[in-house]
Amino acid sequence: MTPSPLLFLLLLGLVGAQAPVDLRTAAAMAAGLCKTRPTDIVFIIDSSRSVRPSEFEQVKVFLAKVIEGLDVGPNATRVGVVNYASRVKNEVSLKTHRTKAGLVKAVTKIEPLSTGTMTGLAIQFALNVAFSEGEGARVKSPDISKVAIIVTDGRPQDNVKEVAQRARDAGIEIFAIGVGRVDMSTLRQMASDPLDDHVDYVESYSVIEKLTKKFQEAFCVSDLCATGDHDCEQVCISSPGSYKCACKDGFTLMDNGRSCSACSNSATDVVFLIDGSKSVRPENFELVKKWINQIVDKLDVSDSKAHVGLVQYSSSVRQEFPLGRYNNKKDLKDAVKKMAYMERGTMTGQALRYLTDNSFNPGHGARPGVAKVGIVFTDGRSQDYIGDAAKKAKENGFKMYAVGVGNAVEDELKEIASEPTGEHYFYTADFKAMTQIAKKLQINICQDEDPCECDSLVKFQKKVEDALQVLTKKYILFNK
Q: What is the pLDDT of residue 223?
A: 66
Nearest partner of 44 among 137, 117, 166, 126, judged by Cα: 126
More confident residue, 194 or 468: 194
- CA triplet 414, 251, 269: central angle to 5 degrees? 50
Q: What is the pLDDT of residue 4?
A: 43
Confidence of residue 3 (pLDDT cuts 50, 70, 90): very low
Contact, 352 vs 417, CB < 8 A? no
Contact, 79 vs 67, CB < 8 A? yes
For residue 63, is pLDDT > 60? yes
Q: What is the pLDDT of residue 337?
A: 95
Which residues on neighbouring strands pair with residue 211, listed in sequence order? none
Q: What is the pLDDT of residues 318-357, one digit of tens each?
A: 999 999 999 999 999 999 999 999 989 999 999 999 999 9
Strands 39-46 and 145-152 come out as parallel
Q: What is the pLDDT of residue 333?
A: 94
Contact, 60 vs 108, CB < 8 A? yes
Q: Is 470 left (phi over 0), alpha (psi -120 to 50) or beta?
A: alpha
Q: Please, what sign has the CA dihedral across residues 198, 284, 410, 355?
A: negative
Q: What is the pLDDT of residues 145-178, one digit of tens each?
A: 999 999 999 899 999 999 999 999 999 999 999 9
- Measured CA to CA in angstroms, residue 327 lies from 62, 299, 303 at distances of 46, 11, 6
Q: Which of 72-76, 223-227, 251-255 has the highest mean pLDDT?
A: 72-76
Q: What is the 3-state secondary structure (H, E, C) of the chain?
A: CCCCHHHHHHHHCCCCCCCCCCHHHHHHHHCCCCEECCEEEEEEEECCCCCCHHHHHHHHHHHHHHHHCCCECCCCEEEEEEEECCCEEEEECCCCCCCHHHHHHHHHCCCCCCCCCCHHHHHHHHHHHHCCHHHCCCCCECCEEEEEEEEECCCCCCCCHHHHHHHHHCCEEEEEEEECCCCHHHHHHHCCCCHHHHEEEECCHHHHHHHHHHHHHHCEECCHHHHCCCCCCCEEEEECCEEEEECCCCCEECCCCCCEECCCCCCEEEEEEEECCCCCCHHHHHHHHHHHHHHHHHCCECCCCEEEEEEEECCCEEEEECCCCCCCHHHHHHHHHCCCCCCCCCCHHHHHHHHHHHHCCHHHCCCCCCEEEEEEEECCCCCCCCHHHHHHHHHCCCEEEEEEECCCCHHHHHHHCCCCHHHHEEEECCHHHHHHHHHHCCCCCCCCCCCCCHHHHHHHHHHHHHHHHHHHHHHHHHHC
Q: What is the pLDDT of residues 197-237, one digit of tens each?
A: 899 999 999 999 889 888 877 776 666 776 666 778 888 88
For residue 124, is pLDDT > 60? yes
Q: What is the pTM assigned to this prediction?
A: 0.46
- Measured CA to CA in angstroms, residue 357 lies from 326, 354, 361, 394, 398 at distances of 21, 5, 7, 13, 12
Q: Please, what sign has the CA dihedral across residues 128, 132, 136, 137?
A: positive
Average pLDDT for residues 239-255, to the nearest whole number? 72
Q: Distance between CA 131 and CA 477 in Å, rounded? A: 83
Q: What is the pLDDT of residue 31?
A: 39
- Measured CA to CA in angstroms, residue 306 lies from 300, 328, 465 at distances of 6, 10, 35
List domains and CATH numbers for the chain.
Answer: 36-220 (3.40.50.410), 225-261 (2.10.25.10), 268-440 (3.40.50.410)
Q: What is the pLDDT of residue 74?
A: 86
Strands 35-36 and 220-221 come out as antiparallel
- Measured CA to CA in angstroms, residue 5 lies from 9, 212, 333 at distances of 6, 18, 45
Q: Find all residues with CB under 8 Å of 342, minimum gap 6, and list them.
A: 276, 277, 312, 313, 314, 316, 318
Confidence of residue 422 (pLDDT cuts 50, 70, 90): confident
**What b/e sequence results for 318-333 when a residue is b if at least 16 CB atoms lie within 10 Å of its CB, and e otherwise?**
bebbbbebbeebeebb
Q: Distance between CA 61 and CA 207 in Å, rounded? A: 11
Q: What is the pLDDT of residue 449?
A: 42
